[in-house]
Amino acid sequence: MDIRDLNPSYIGQRPDIERLVSPNAKTILDIGCSTGTLGAAIKARTGARVFGIELSQEMAHVASDRLDKVFVGDAAEIILQGKMQDFRFDTIIFADILEHLIDPWSVLRGAARYLENDGTIIASIPNVRHLDTIFNLVFKGNWPYRERGIHDQTHLRFFTKRNIMELFDSADLSIDTIKTNYRFIERGHRLNRFAKFLAIPGMRNFLAFQYLIRAQRCT
């Protein structure tokens, strides 16, 4: 398999996620690990053992050379059917994966059972309230199905910031950090670097392209 043929949204580096991982992390689970790019970067920085779950056998094969262990199969099935019951992690990552699941509420709740007592869950989730959605629905009367981004045609669930907070609350997880990636234009564009400067009250929820979440079990 030529990695260059894969969707770049699924295999690229994620320094924004890396920054949320504690340098003291020892055992990490990357759910939807793709080719292991993120996990390998975390291993290099922290020395942690990194495990992955990946549906694609081709991606999992590449990831297995980068990570300590990769479970191949449907993440919901692996997590909810207790196929990892012998493992515990201090960090569990959902990097743009929850929106691809039929029941992200159950999967997030199930994943929390694999956390160490002081462990954290880190997630990145696209914001469907972005102005690109509003422009297409209101002015063009169209839902913009795309190959990547907020309107990736493989997304099954859609979230706003409020929905995200409710999602984590339903899993009995307390959010301690919410960070935002801002964009004017839904696709990658050089103008997006300036979006954060216009993310003022009343506008920021419409410029938010993606939310980054870090949470712990409620005590």
pLDDT in tens, 96-124: 999 999 999 999 999 999 999 999 999 99
Average pLDDT, the chain: 92
Band of residue 9 on the pLDDT scale cut at 50, 70, 90: low
CATH fold, domain 3-217, is: Rossmann fold (3.40.50)
3-state secondary structure the chain: CCHHHCCHHHHCCCHHHHCCCCCCCCEEEEECCCCCHHHHHHHHHHCCEEEEEECCHHHHHHHCCCCCEEEECCHHHHHHCCCCCCCCEEEEEEECCHHHCCCHHHHHHHHHCCEEEEEEEEEEEEECCCHHHHHHHHHCCCCCCECCCCCECCCCCCECHHHHHHHHHHCCEEEEEEEEEECCCCCCCHHHHHHHHHCCCCCHHHHEEEEEEEEEECC
44-102 pLDDT tens trace: 999 999 999 999 999 999 999 999 999 999 999 999 998 888 899 999 999 999 999 99
- What global pTM score does this model have? 0.92
